[in-house]
Amino acid sequence: MPELHTIKVDAVIIGSGLAGLLLANELVEAGRRVLIATKGKLLDSNTRYAQGGLAAVLKDSVTDSRQAHLKDTIQSGAGLVDEAVAEQIINGGAELVQKLSALGVHFDKTDAGTPSLHLEGGHTSPRVLHSKDTTGKTIAEGLANALIAKAANEEDLNRPIILENSFALDILHFQATPLAPRVATGVLLLTDEGVLSVAATYVVLATGGAGQVFTRTTNPSVATGDGIALAARAGAKLTDLEFIQFHPTAFCKEGQPAFLVSEAVRGQGAILIDDRGHRFAFDFHKDGELATRDTVAKAIHQTMAERNLDSVYLDMRPIGSEAEIEAKFPNIVATLRKLGVDPIKEAVPVCPAAHYYMGGITADAKGQTSLVGLFALGECAATGLHGANRLASNSLLEAGVMALNLAKYISSQSFKAIPYKKNAKLTEAWFSHCRPFAVPADRTELQSLMYRRAGLVRDAEGLEKLEKQLDAISIYKTGIDRYERESANMLLVAKLIAKACALRKESRGGHVRSDFANPNNAAFLHHITFEKGAWRTQSAARAPFTSSERAVSLARP
C-alpha cells in the first residue's frame, strides 16, 4: 500500500469550476471546514473556457421575465425538462449575480450603467450577462482569488484546504444492510504526497463534463467524465446519458484545436454560409442561426454531408466594423488569428464538436444524489433543467444556483461528522479489495470510435459496432496510476453513453438517430436511467428518486 494520509473535514469538494469554487467560498463564510481538490490547477475547469455568459433575468420587465426564460428553457429541452427544477434555478439567477458581485465578479454594463445583455440561440430576449467574450474566465478567476485569500488567512483556523494536482480515485461509502441506503463517507485522493483519505459529512462532485471522450471537443483536457464514473462505481443513479450537446460552431481546421466560437457571435449578427456563400441555416428553421443549438448543429452536419464538406463557414463581418467586432469579441478574434484565420477579413471554418453533457448524476436542485451524503453540482449533474438539449448559457446559471442551494442546506444542518475509524476501515477495505479494472488500450482510438459512432448522429449499426469495439480495446490493469485510472473513467463513461444511445430509438434534442429521425413521444417521452447495473425508464413527470421504475435490462456497461 502506498503512503496513506488521513484528514477529516465537514465537506470535500471535487472540482474547481463555478459550482465548486462558489460552494467552497460560501461554506467557509458559514464557518464550515472545507477541502477543495482539483486534478489540475485551480483554474483548470470548463467554467474558465465559457465564452458566452450567464443567462439570468435579474428583474421582470415589459421586455423580459423569468417566466419567459422558463418557457424558452422548456422549449429547448424537447419534452424532458423538469419544470419545477427549472423554475427554481431560473428564479435564483438574481441572487447568484449578487453573490458573484460580492465576491469580485462583475459583468459588462452599457453606457447607461445597466447590465449589457447578449441574445443567444433559443432565447426570445437578450438576457445573457457577459464579460466581453471571456465570461467564464472572469468568473473562475474572481471566485478562485476570493478562495485563495481565505486560505491565506493564517489567523483563521477554519481556512479552506486547497489541493491542486489531486485526483479522486473513488468515493468511500457503505451500506449497513441490503435494504438500507448507501452512505457516502468520504473520498480517496491521489496527491503528490501519496494517497489522502478524506472523511467528510458531505461529499460533493463538481467535476464538469466528459467532452474528452470524443476526438473533437471544446472542453479542456481535464473533462474526462471522472465525477460520473466515480458516482457510477459507488452505485449512484445516473440519468440522460445519451444527451450530449455538440456546439455548432467550433473552429475546424486540420491539426488545430476545436476552439469554440461563442453563440453570442451569432447573436450579434454573424451568419453561417456554405462553400457557395449560401446562408443555409434558414433552410432548416425559421430562426436561422439563432435556432437552438441542436437544430443549428444538425443543419451544419446535413449541409456538410450533402455537399461533401469538411466544414461550413461562420462569417463575423456582418456584426459591424473591425473596431466593433474586436471590441465585442477580443479573445475570439485574437485566438482565431493565432490559429491562422482572420475573422475580420475572411469567414471562419467551423463544424460541430462535443461541448456540454446534459446527462450525468441524477440530482435535485441542491445536488442531492441517490446516495446519502453525496452531492453533484453543475455539468456532472442531471437535474432536469436542460432536458434533452441545454438552452444557451443556462449552464453557468445552473452551476451557481445549485451551489448556493447546497450551501444554504449544509449551513442549516447540524453536523454528524464521519468518524476516522469508519473511514479507516473503508480505506483499508478499498485497498485490500482492489481488483483489475478496464482501461482502453489506446485513448485516441476510444475518442475516435466515440466521435464516429456516438457523435452528433448515431444509428443502430454504428452503436452495435461501437459497443463491441469498446469491449475489444478494453485491457485490464491494477494499481493506482493516475493516467490509467482516468482512462478507466473515460472507458466506463463511453460504454454508458453507447448503451444509452442504443436504448433511445428516436431523435430528441442532443440525441440524433439517422435510423429514427423523429421524436417518438408515445414510446420515449421518458428519461433513461442507470443504477447499480440496471437500465430503467423514468417518467419525465416524476421526481428524481422513485421506487416505481421499470427495468429495461440488466446489462452492465
Domain boundary assignment for the chain: 247-354
* In the predicted structure, residue 548 carries a pLDDT above the cut 50: no
Q: Please, which pLDDT band fits residue 550 given cuts at 50, 70 and 90?
A: very low
CA 109 to chain centre: 28
Instruction: Judge whether 243 and 389 are in contact, CB under 8 Å.
Output: yes
pLDDT band at 556 (very low <50, low <70, confident <90, very high): very low
C-alpha dihedral over 106, 11, 375, 18, to 10 degrees?
20
User: Backbone phi, then psi, for 110, in 5-degree steps?
Assistant: -80, 175
- The top-scoring range by mean pLDDT among 202-206, 389-393, 549-553 is 202-206
Alpha helices in 110-197 (DSSP H): 135-151
How large is the average pLDDT for residues 258-269?
Answer: 92
pTM for this model (two decimals):
0.93
Distances (CA, A) of 60 to 65, 127, 287, 368, 472: 4, 11, 25, 30, 55
Task: Tell me the average pLDDT across 132-158.
Answer: 90
Amino acid 551: pLDDT: 41
450 pLDDT band, cuts 50/70/90, is very high
At which residue does the C-alpha cell 503528490 appear?
Answer: 192
pLDDT of residue 51: 72
**Cβ count near 421 (within 10 Å):** 9
What is residue 82's DSSP assignment? -
Task: Classify 310 as helix, strand or coil.
Answer: coil
Q: Rounded CA gap, 77 and 525, in Å?
A: 12
| Percent of the chain surpassing pLDDT 70 | 96
What pLDDT, on the 0 to 100 scale, is given for residue 549?
A: 44
> pLDDT, tens digit, for every residue of 296-322?
999 999 999 999 999 999 999 999 999
pLDDT tens for residues 9-56? 999 999 999 999 999 999 999 999 999 999 999 888 878 777 779 999
Interatomic CA distance for residues 368 and 409, integer angstroms: 10
As a whole number of angstroms, the distance between CA 429 and CA 469 comes to 33
- The Cα 264–Cα 356 span in angstroms is 16
Structural element, H or E, at residue 442 = none
CA distance 149 to 142: 11
Bridge partners (DSSP) of residue 368 are: 375
pLDDT at position 205 over 90? yes
More confident residue, 414 or 99: 99
What's the pLDDT tens digit per position in 51-83?
A: 779 999 999 999 999 999 999 999 999 999 999
Burial letters 69-99, b for 16+ CB under 10 A, else e: bbebbbbbbbbbbbbebbbbbbebbeebbeb
Amino acid (1-letter code) at residue 17? G
Alpha-carbon span 388 to 17, nearest angstrom: 23
Catalytic residues: 293
Q: Is the pLDDT of residue 203 over 90?
A: yes
Give me 354's grid cell: 462535443
Q: How high is the mean pLDDT of the chain? A: 93
Q: What angle do CA 324, 326, 331 make, to 5 degrees?
A: 145
Phi and psi at 382, nearest 5°, equal -120, 100
Strand pairing of 348-357 and 312-315?
A: antiparallel
Q: What whole-number distance in Å separates Cα of residue 288 and Cα of residue 302?
A: 14
Q: What are phi and psi of 491, to 5 degrees?
A: -65, -45
The mean-pLDDT minimum among 350-359, 367-376, 537-546 falls in 537-546
* CATH class of the structural domain 247-354: alpha beta
Closest CA to 374 of 188, 184, 545: 184
Report pLDDT for 553: 36
3-class state of residue 155 by DSSP = coil
Burial of 545 (0-12, 13-18, 19+ CB in 10 A): middle
Contact 197, 3 (CB under 8 A): no
Model confidence at 555: pLDDT above 90:
no
Question: What is the strand order of the sheet 238-239 is part of?
Answer: 381-382, 360-362, 238-239, 526-531, 534-539, 550-553
Q: How far is residue 204 from each of residues 95, 212, 216, 276, measured CA to CA in Å?
A: 22, 22, 29, 50
